[in-house]
């Protein structure tokens, strides 16, 4: 499950959840419906997102409530699959107290939930990604060296 068949295991952006109008769509498409993706990209426009959290939609919900409902579906799927003891939200918008509070409220009525907390180590997410890749390469190297050493001892 670490990488998956296509290398995207654990990529929550493609989990199906509730869209702006209650339809089943991927999380990344919720951001598109809300007009919160960068032009010609699937990347989230963080400045636009943070600026729109209190925007009211025709159904009476704010952007943060729509996102919380969409994230609720993703988090409940993750809880069912991975059984975590907490959910950590990262990134500039994920660590925003309004997002965490709205998601926590959306999860309150769920049959199974865990605490939602902001990441404390998210100032440089690219460093975390680089460190994870370096660690994986080290594991592969150590495993290959150990396998080779065991094979030589058996000869």
Q: How far apart are CA 72 and CA 18, in angstroms?
A: 9
User: H/E element holding 46?
Assistant: helix 46-52
Q: Looking at residue 12, what is its pLDDT?
A: 85
Provide the CATH number for the domain formed by 12-123 in this structure.
3.30.420.40
Q: Looking at residue 135, what is its pLDDT?
A: 83
Residue 29's closest CA among 18, 40, 139? 18
Separation in Å, CA 85 to CA 16, 80, 101: 22, 12, 18
Q: Looking at residue 142, what is its pLDDT?
A: 87
Q: Looking at residue 125, what is its pLDDT?
A: 62
Residue 95 DSSP label: T
pLDDT (tens, 9 = 90+) of the chain, 155 residues, equals 456 777 667 778 889 999 999 999 999 999 999 999 999 988 999 999 999 999 999 899 999 999 999 999 999 999 998 899 999 998 889 999 999 999 999 999 899 999 999 988 766 666 666 777 788 888 888 888 777 766 666 66
């Amino acid at each position: 499950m670490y990488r998956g068949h296509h290398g995207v295991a654990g990529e929550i952006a493609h989990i199906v959840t509730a869209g702006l109008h209650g339809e089943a769509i991927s999380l990344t498409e919720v951001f598109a419906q809300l007009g919160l993706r960068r032009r010609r990209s699937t990347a989230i426009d963080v400045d636009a997102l943070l600026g729109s959290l209190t925007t009211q939609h025709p159904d009476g919900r704010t952007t943060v409530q729509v996102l919380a409902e969409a994230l609720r579906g993703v988090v409940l799927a993750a809880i069912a699959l991975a059984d975590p003891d907490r959910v950590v939200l990262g990134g500039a918008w994920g660590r925003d107290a309004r997002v965490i509070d709205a998601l926590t409220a959306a999860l309150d009525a769920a049959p199974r939930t865990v605490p939602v907390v902001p990441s404390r180590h998210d100032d440089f997410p690219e460093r975390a990604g680089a460190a994870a890749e370096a660690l994986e390469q080290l594991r592969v190297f150590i495993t290959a060296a150990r396998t080779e050493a065991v094979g030589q001892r058996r000869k």
